[in-house]
Chains A and B, each alone.
Chain A
Amino acid sequence: AQRVTQPEKLLSVFKGAPVELKCNYSYSGSPELFWYVQYSRQRLQLLLRHISRESIKGFTADLNKGETSFHLKKPFAQEEDSAMYYCALSKSGYSTLTFGKGTMLLVSP
């Protein structure tokens, strides 16, 4: 069975500092990886997906199949980045998502 692991429950940084939210996965097939974000009092929403290779709100994530990782990075954190971040995986041929437990990012001024 597939699994997504986010080792950090909470990541606290200062504004302007670099951010890396870790995500590791286990799946024997060809996964698609996503980052979803939930801002305070808002619904869960897609931040980025690995196949699009986009940079959204300054965040990037690279799929490393050798290390089975999909870490989310931003060079300079902003206070508005404070939110709950979930890494998720979908299996080959399916749209259903397997989520990690999430990492709360707190960016202090």
Chain B
Amino acid sequence: ETGVTQSPTHLIKTRGQQVTLRCSSQSGHNTVSWYQQALGQGPQFIFQYYREEENGRGNFPPRFSGLQFPNYSSELNVNALELDDSALYLCASSLGPSRQDTEAFFGQGTRLTVV
């Protein structure tokens, strides 16, 4: 059984640029959630994908978007990067979108720095 993997581990982008972060879900999991963790804060929910459809969104602007592929891997795209987007981005996969399916398995995260 493979765990949740995220790529890249770190990256540095310039304000105004666009970035794509990737996540491979754990084997057998069809639901992927993305979280943003700013320094000194807890993870904050961005959105969730279930069977290739967005299944809930947190309080993030539309320049944060995502995709889920048929193999249930996922991407997080952020356009027009701002300095405040600098954070650790976490991906979590679970067996399903319902609460009884909740044990969220987290990846190691991608550290994004916007300069």
Residues of A within 8 A of B (CB): 4, 6, 32, 34, 43-46, 49, 86, 88, 90-102
Contact = CB atoms under 8 A, between A and B. Distances in A.
Contacts of A101: 40-42
Task: Pick from A86, A91, A96, A97 the residue with the most CB of B within 10 Å.
Answer: A96
Nearest to A93: B99
Interface of B: 4, 31, 33, 35, 40-45, 48, 56, 58, 90, 94, 96-99, 101-109
A43 B96 contact: no
A86 B106 CA distance: 13
B42 A95 contact: no
Contact of B106 (A32, A44, A49, A92): A44
Contacts of A93: 98-99
B99 A90 contact: yes
A43 B104 contact: no
Nearest to A38: B106
Given A32-B99, A90-B99, A92-B99, A97 B106 contact: no
A59 to B, nearest CB: 16
B98 A95 contact: yes
A34 B94 CA distance: 15
A64 B20 CA distance: 41
A43 B107 contact: yes
A96 B106 contact: no
Contacts of B90: 44
Contacts of B101: 95
27 contacts: A43-B4, A43-B107, A43-B108, A44-B106, A45-B105, A46-B103, A49-B102, A86-B42, A90-B102, A92-B99, A93-B98, A93-B99, A94-B56, A94-B98, A95-B33, A95-B94, A95-B96, A95-B104, A96-B33, A96-B45, A96-B56, A97-B33, A97-B35, A97-B45, A99-B35, A101-B40, A102-B41
